Chains A and B, each alone.
Chain A
Amino acid sequence: DAMVIQNPRYQVTQFGKPVTLSCSQTLNHNVMYWYQQKSSQAPKLLFHYYDKDFNNEADTPDNFQSRRPNTSFCFLDIRSPGLGDAAMYLCATSRVQALRGEQYFGPGTRLTVT
């Protein structure tokens, strides 16, 4: 089945130790998104790629960066994780030509910072 896959599902890192979360998709979608969702909060868009074009949200901290080496993969790098970065990180994809707004989400990676 075509899908959005996130690895790992659970990640524990130490305060200040760089961590990378990965997302892959078999849907061949143009657009890939990274969201941060803290407990009982709304998912918040960090950035998205439209093909190779990177789009950063204005309030996304510099501590968060992303790479998209090809259509299928997208990575979220947190350079120096703080305790406040503990959250669920959701990857999503969409086709530009699709029903407006419809995105396909992965199961998420829950990040714990110790």
Chain B
Amino acid sequence: DQQVKQNSPSLSVQEGRISILNCDYTNSMFDYFLWYKKYPAEGPTFLISISSIKDKNEDGRFTVFLNKSAKHLSLHIVPSQPGDSAVYFCAAARNYGGSQGNLIFGKGTKLSVKP
């Protein structure tokens, strides 16, 4: 059973507008969440993360929001640029007594930003 779900396989947005990518999780033991970005023919690259003690983390045009009660997080990209077109993976990790737990990935959402 999938513990990390990205229910939208694809998203299309106009350049300059906001992109919102969503992710849901089922395991309440997850306490750290990450977004990775993947271009074709390249490996995923780390984009932004958030700890469960926060509800928002911002880095330039990228903001991640965490709603623990709903077990939901979202990635906002404002303004969207054509170079943001990629597959975005949501991932979650669990704290095993202070040591790093392994990442559980979602299936990804393909974002297309149209000029």
Contacts and interface: CB of A to CB of B under 8 A. Distances in A.
Interface in B84-112: 89, 91, 93, 100, 102-108
Contact of B2 (A33, A42, A105): A42
Given A48-B102, A101-B103, A42 B43 contact: no
Most buried by B among A43, A90, A101, A108: A101
B84 to A, nearest CB: 18
20 contacts: A4-B43, A40-B107, A42-B4, A42-B89, A42-B106, A43-B89, A43-B105, A45-B102, A48-B102, A94-B100, A99-B49, A100-B51, A101-B34, A101-B49, A101-B100, A103-B46, A105-B36, A106-B43, A107-B41, A107-B43
A4 B46 CA distance: 14
Interface of A: 4, 33, 40-45, 48, 57, 90, 92, 94, 96, 99-108
Interface in B28-52: 32, 34, 36, 41-46, 49, 51
Q: Is the interface of B mostly helix, strand, loop or mixed?
A: strand
Given A41-B107, A42-B107, A45-B103, A101 B43 contact: no
Contact of A96 (B4, B89, B100, B106): B100
Contacts of A40: 9, 107
A101 B43 CA distance: 16
A106 B41 CA distance: 10
A101 B91 contact: yes
State which size class the interface on B falls in: 20 to 34
A99 B43 CA distance: 19
B59 to A, nearest CB: 12
A30 B59 CA distance: 27
Contacts of A92: 43
Given A43-B44, A45-B102, A101-B34, 18 more contacts: A41-B107, A42-B4, A45-B103, A90-B44, A92-B43, A99-B49, A100-B32, A100-B49, A100-B100, A101-B32, A101-B49, A101-B93, A101-B103, A102-B34, A102-B49, A104-B46, A105-B36, A105-B43
